[in-house]
């Protein structure tokens, strides 16, 4: 039985050593440590070091992480990861939840409840976002990215393009990309 530790940070300016220290302070002697620098939006399968770690785990090994989100992007991803670890007979410990083995029956119950709460939280975030956007529209706010050009500049671009001026020349004149010029002069075509 080996003890594996895994940490994840989002940016290169961060370090996973704090997570390793937290795991060791909880009484686990980490024999194998893996960590990724990748956004929390990446699925577990997309994390290079996590993939390597999964290839090394054997039955009766212990995987310890500091927080539940280290095991996946969202509730379904975390649940799938833990299920696959359970099939391997790997004990999964998340310090944030206490020293509960998430592959045990009690751990599975805890995960099901957490997944339900996480799903509800995501739904509430979507509802709040939609309500905020609707309110902003009702108040007359313009949503989306600001235009790079004025209506007058766009009209001049269309006129110049119609007079056989090149897309590159128009892009240079207005300090924008060729793609932006094409969006103005050929709005119905896909770029």
Residues catalogued as catalytic:
10
CA dihedral 180, 181, 187, 191 (to 10 degrees): -60
**What residues are paired with 33 via a beta bridge?**
5
b/e code 113-134 from CB counts within 10 Å (16+ = b)? ebeeebeeeeeeeeeeeeeeee
CA distance 63 to 87: 14
Q: How far is CA 186 from CA 63, 129, 160, 182, in A?
A: 55, 33, 13, 5
Q: Are 133 and 143 within 8 A, CB to CB?
A: yes
Q: Is 80 exposed, middle or buried (0-12, 13-18, 19+ CB in 10 A)?
A: middle
State the Cα–Cα distance between residues 76 and 125, nearest whole angstrom.
17
């Amino acid at each position: 039985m080996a003890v594996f530790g895994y940490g994840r940070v989002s940016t290169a300016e961060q370090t996973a050593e704090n997570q390793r220290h937290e795991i060791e302070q909880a009484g686990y002697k980490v024999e194998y440590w893996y960590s990724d620098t990748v956004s929390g939006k990446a699925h577990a399968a997309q994390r290079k070091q996590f993939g390597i770690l999964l290839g090394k785990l054997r039955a009766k090994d212990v995987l310890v992480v500091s927080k539940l989100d280290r095991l996946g992007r969202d509730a379904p991803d975390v649940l799938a990861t833990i299920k696959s670890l359970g099939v391997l007979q790997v004990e999964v410990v998340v310090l944030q939840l206490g020293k509960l083995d998430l592959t045990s029956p009690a751990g599975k119950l805890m995960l099901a409840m957490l997944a339900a709460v996480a799903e509800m939280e995501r739904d509430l975030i979507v509802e709040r976002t939609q309500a905020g956007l609707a309110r902003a529209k009702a108040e007359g706010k313009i949503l989306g990215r600001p235009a790079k050009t004025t209506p007058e500049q766009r009209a001049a671009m269309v006129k110049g393009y119609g007079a056989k001026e090149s897309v590159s020349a128009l892009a240079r004149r207005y300090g924008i990309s060729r793609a932006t010029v094409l969006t103005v002069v050929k709005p119905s075509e896909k770029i």
